[in-house]
Structures are given as structure tokens and as C-alpha cells.
Amino acid sequence: MDWANLRTRLTKMLRSVWSPFAAIPIALLLGALVLLAAGYNPITAYEAMWQGAFKDRTAFTEVLIKATPLMFIGVGLAVAFKCSIWNIGAEGQFYAGAVMATVTGIYLGDLPRLILIPLVLIMGTAGGALWGMLAAYLKNRFGASEVVTTIMLNYVAIYITGYLVTGPMIETKGLFPQTPKISEAAWLPRFLPPTRLHIGFIIAVLVAVLLYILIFKTSIGYTIRAVGINPIAARYAGINVKRNILLAMGISGGAAGLAGAVEVSAISYRLYQLISPGFGFDGIAVALLVNNNPLGVIFSSFLFGALRSGAEVMMMTAKVPSVLVSLIQGFVILSVVAFGVYRVTTVEKEE
């Protein structure tokens, strides 16, 4: 590949991901006004936030850890959205993956490490994929809107988890609604002790790169994009639209399920009732911010990880109430989206 070509491609790439970062100062400015109005010093609050995300190596690795599930979920959703399947069910698919991983990690805990770890991840992926494909099946068979079915399946997955951790799988001490720890042989290795940074982060980046290649470089990706843009023309060309809907939901759900498996096997080591603080929904924003480009998701999930990490510290040290923290996060999403719209319209005008 020649250099000029590479350069134009890099510029193109940068142009599709810069806006989230450019929008942040605006969002923080708006947030500062709200903080002032509520009687807090925005400078101390933001300083705490910055410290929380970037103070030292530990803080920074925490950002990466927070970005990991968002990256899995975000790339998966990017694939579904490219196929114009509006999967709002990554939350449920995350739970399905976490349940399958926990079951594997507990009941097959005697297996050797080299077998158990991949098995846990595979089972988690399979759980999420099947949960996602259930919605695809309902859409293909009965024409049920995936927006509705995936949202409803979220509840089903969350309540099944609730049942499992309070009933059949509750830890033997039975004090909390949670399962016992999974076998230590199922724990994902951490590679930067003493931080908690685990190989799940690397797997997430790999998955993002692989899905980028799948979508833009392979015939499977061609079909998914064609179906997403114009299902009628795709059918005329002899593409099996239903099979692709199933595939896109499988990939999307599988990635979310893998996120659940990684969360269990690298961070919590067990399943409990509200193991996801809404990863599945943040993932939607993560994917949309970068126009469903899997490589862009690496950056946008990092941004969200930093926000979450920083916000927690801001809450603790600057004593800013959590509602205000959510508000500032909301500002960030809104301004990023606004910038995205601006970018799309200006690019269109240039063309």
C-alpha cells in the first residue's frame, strides 16, 4: 500500500472518530454551569474527575477495565446497527453470557486452566449469541420488532439471573443474593500487577479489530451491510435477508455475552443480581458515537470508561451528588451526538 493512500485513509479514520473528543470541552463547560448553579466548585470537581481517570497507572488501568465491557458490547452493536437491526438487548445478552460463564466456571471448575478459561468465554459468547438470536428468530418468523423483543428479553434475562442467585445457585453461606466464586482455574489472568488489568481488555481490542475486518473486508460483511442499507435490493440480488438478520444478532449478542463472561471471570468472579450497571445501554451510545465503526468503538469505549471512572472519584472526593454526575455524563453524550450530526451534515455538503 502506498503512503498517500494510507494517509488519506488515516485522515478519513480520524475524521470519523474525532468528534467525541472535540465535543467534550463543550459538555464540561455546560456541566460547570450546572455545578456552579448547584453550589459546587467546578474546578475542584473536574480536578477530582481528571485525577480519578488519569492520576496514576492504577487509575488509568481502571479506565481500561471499565472500557472493556463497553468495547465488547459496542462493537457487537455496531455490527447489528450496520445491518439495521436495532438491538436494544445487549443488557440481557450480557446477563445471558454472565450466567453461562458462571455456570461453567462453577460446575466444570475441575477442568484444567487452559481448557476452562476458553470454555468459560465460549459458553458466555454462546449464551449471549443465543439470547440475541432468539429476538432475530421472532423477527424472522413473526415479524416482531426487535426493538420490542430485545427490550423484553432484557427483563427476562435479568429476572432469571435474580432467580438463580437467590435460589438454586445462591452461595452456601447464603448471606447475600450471589453465587459462590467460580473456580480459580477460570479466572482470567491479570498482566500488570498490582493493577486489575486483565487479558479481557486485549481480547476486546482484538474482537474490535476482527469485527472491523469482518464488516469491511469480507463477503459476509458485504452482505450484512447490504441488508442493512437496502434489504429489498439485497433480496433481489439473491441475498438471504433472514439468515443475515440471524447472523448479525448472533454476532451482536455473542459480543455482549462475551462481555458478561469476561466481567465474571476477570472482575467479580461470581454472579450477583445487578452485575451490569447498564453496560448494555451505554454500549448503544458507544457504537453510535463513532457511526458504528468497530475501530472507532475502541476510542469511544475508552472515553466512556474514563467518564465512569472519573465520575466515581468526583462523587467521592468532591462530594458531588450522583445525579449531577449523571447529568454531566448526559451532557457529554448529547454534545457528542450533536457534533456527530454536525460532522455528517458538513461532510455531506462537501461531497
Partner 1 sequence: MKDCIVRMENIVKSFGSVRASRGVNLEVCPGEIHCLLGENGAGKTVLMSILYGLYQPDSGDIYYKNKKITIGSPKDAINLRIGMVHQHFMLVPTLTVAENIVLGQYPAWKVLSDMPAIQEKIYQLSKEFDLNVHPEALVQDLSVGEQQRVEILKALYHGADLLVLDEPTAVLTPQESEHLLSFLRELADKGLTILFITHKLEEVMQVSDRVTILRDGKAIATVNTSETNPRELARMMVGRDVLMELMKKEGESGEVIFSVRNLNVKDEKGLPAVKNLSLEVREREVVGIAGVSGNGQTELALALAGLVESQFDEIILNKHSLTQKDLSRLNHLGMAHIPEDRQKMGLILPFSVSENFIAETYRNEPFSKKGFLQFRTIKDYSNMLVKKFSIRVGDVDEAIANLSGGNQQKVVVARELDRRPKFLLVNQPTRGIDIGATEFVRQQILAERDAGSAILLISTDLEEIFALSDRILVMYEGRIMGEVPPDHNRVEEIGLMMAGKTEATA
Q: For binding to partner 1 (CB under 8 A), which residues are involved?
A: 217-220, 222-223, 225-226, 229-230, 232-238, 350-351
Of the candidates 32, 136, 90, the one whose C-alpha atom is nearest the C-alpha of residue 279 is 90
Write the Ramachandran bin of 177: left for phi over 0, alpha for psi from -120 to 50, otherwise beta. Answer: beta
In the complex, the smallest distance separating the C-beta of residue 347 from partner 1, rounded to whole angstroms, is 11
Instruction: Please identify, using beta-carbon distances, which residue of 12 and 173 lies nearer to partner 1.
Output: 12
Say if residues 315 and 321 touch (Cβ distance below 8 Å): yes
Distance linking the first and last C-alpha atoms of the chain: 25
Q: Least distance to partner 1 from the beta carbon of 351, Å?
A: 6
Closest to partner 1 by CB, 117 or 295? 295
Helix (H) or strand (E) holding 325: helix 322-350
Smaller CB separation from partner 1, 172 or 219: 219
Q: In this complex, which beta carbon is closest to partner 1, that of residue 14 or of residue 237?
A: 237
Q: Shortest gap between Cβ of 341 and partner 1 (angstroms)?
A: 17
**Residue 58 and residue 264 in contact, taking contact as beta carbons nearer than 8 Å:** no
In the complex, the smallest distance separating the C-beta of residue 281 from partner 1, rounded to whole angstroms, is 27
Q: Taking the complex as a whole, how short is the minimal distance between the CB of residue 75 and partner 1, in angstroms?
A: 19
Question: What is the torsional sign of CA 308, 314, 316, 322?
Answer: negative
116 or 226: CB nearest partner 1:
226
Residue 236 Cβ, how far from partner 1 at the closest point, in Å? 5
Q: How far apart are CA 123 and CA 117, in angstroms?
A: 10
Select 97 or 296, whichever has its Cβ closest to partner 1: 296
Q: Which residues contact 70 (CB under 8 A, 6 or more apart)?
A: 279, 282, 283, 286, 301, 304, 305
